[in-house]
Amino acid sequence: MAIAFDSIRDWRERSVWRRLDFKRLSKWPFRAGVIPIFKELHIARTAMTPGIAFRDREMVRDGDDSFWLLISQSTSLEVEHLRRDLRLGRGDATLTHACETGSFGSHRHFGYSGVLLPSSQIAGRGVRLNGGLMQHLPRQSDALQLLRGYIQTLERMRPCEGRETICRHVIDLVALAVASPRAIGESSLSAVAAAHLSAALDLIATRFCDPELSVVAVAREMRISPRYLQRLLVTSGTSFTARVTEFRLQRAFTLLTEARDNKRQISDIAFEAGFTDISHFNRLFRSRFGDAPRGVRGQALT
């Protein structure tokens, strides 16, 4: 749920980012909207009025030595850090260090996502990030795309992994994005596999109503092989077909039991849910819910 702020002081004191200050660059009244995503790494998505967020010499005395990955959600985001300047486009990213002064912002309304990486957790993973500070990490980077997709999944869906595991995966994906601009492919690294799986599950959850949806289609869109995708899905405890079928059945059940749909043909509802064979749909529905579609609709109307 988004948290709205209408004063810089409130934003500093109550948002997930308490280590920043802000300077307005226009006559627009200050506004900030923050969507917390994963509190352990202070992952959040923020939209702000024109201005500059910064850490000055006084602020860096707080002893914070965390790294911060900044992902632009705007067409142009200006970043200054370590006496370097970068301009990030939408989806681009860069890595900064909290122990050094710096700033980012825009003369226009802007948005960004941030991931805070405590040095203690970085050291625990055996990861070195100093050499990647203020690199321009392009949106096309495989690792960065996986990381952005993984964060989007954390925002939209309840993660099936434990929070410590999620932390490890995020840190490893950040390290890959910083160190490896080349294609990752079907890596066996657990963070890559987890990000690929999250992306696949997200695609299935949003496109299951498409009767043409298949393992091949999902794999093609993700630029991985169908065999690799099948292996990933097996680790989630179910097959592609079983997962898609469950989504479709749940969608059909919802439509059948909604009062506004009580005059629609059952076949039309089945087609909308993604089924193409009505007899097959009826058999699956009865097996899943213990009654035929017509019977479930009748019970909902009584």
Q: pLDDT 10s digit of each residue in the chain, 302 long?
A: 789 999 999 998 877 666 899 999 988 899 999 999 998 899 999 999 999 999 999 999 988 889 999 999 999 999 999 999 999 999 999 999 999 999 999 999 999 999 998 888 777 666 677 778 999 999 998 889 999 999 988 888 766 678 889 998 998 899 888 886 566 777 778 889 989 998 899 899 999 999 999 999 999 999 899 999 999 998 888 899 999 999 999 999 999 988 666 678 999 999 999 999 999 999 999 999 999 999 988 887 76
Q: Rounded to an integer, what distance in angstroms lies between the CA atom of residue 130 and that of residue 144?
A: 18
Quick one: pLDDT at residue 7?
93
Question: How many residues appear in the chain?
Answer: 302
Rounded Cα distance between 295 and 128, Å, is: 61
Structural domains in the chain? 3-139 (2.60.120.10), 242-301 (1.10.10)
- Name the residue type at position 56: D
φ, ψ for residue 288, nearest 5 deg: -80, -40
Residue 155 CA to residue 5 CA, distance in Å, equals 20
Burial class (CB in 10 A: 0-12, 13-18, 19+), 61: exposed
Q: Tokens 């307005």 sit at which residue?
A: 24
Bridge partners, residue 84, by sequence: 81
Which amino acid is present at 158?
R
Q: Which of 165, 177, 176 is nearest to 235 (CA)?
A: 165
HSE-CB for 279 with a 13 A CA cutoff: 0
Please give the Cα distance from 258 to 236 (Å, whole number). 31
End-to-end CA distance of the chain: 36
Which pLDDT score, from 0 to 100, does residue 158 have? 66
pLDDT value at position 156? 82
Give the per-residue SS3 of the chain. Answer: CCEEECCHHHHHHHCCCCCCEEEECCCCCCCEEEEEEEHHHCEEEEEECCEEEEECCCHHHHCCCCEEEEEECCCCEEEEECCEEEEECCCCEEEEECCCCEEEEECCCEEEEEEEECHHHHHHCCCCCHHHECCCECCCCHHHHHHHHHHHHHHHCCCCCCHHHHHHHHHHHHHHHHHCCCCCCCCCCHHHHHHHHHHHHHHHHHHCCCCCCCHHHHHHHHCCCHHHHHHHHHHCCCCHHHHHHHHHHHHHHHHHCCHHHCCCCHHHHHHHHCCCCHHHHHHHHHHHHCCCHHHHHHHHHC
The pLDDT of residue 119 is 83
- CA of residue 281 relative to chain centroid, distance: 33
Contact 297, 269 (CB under 8 A): no
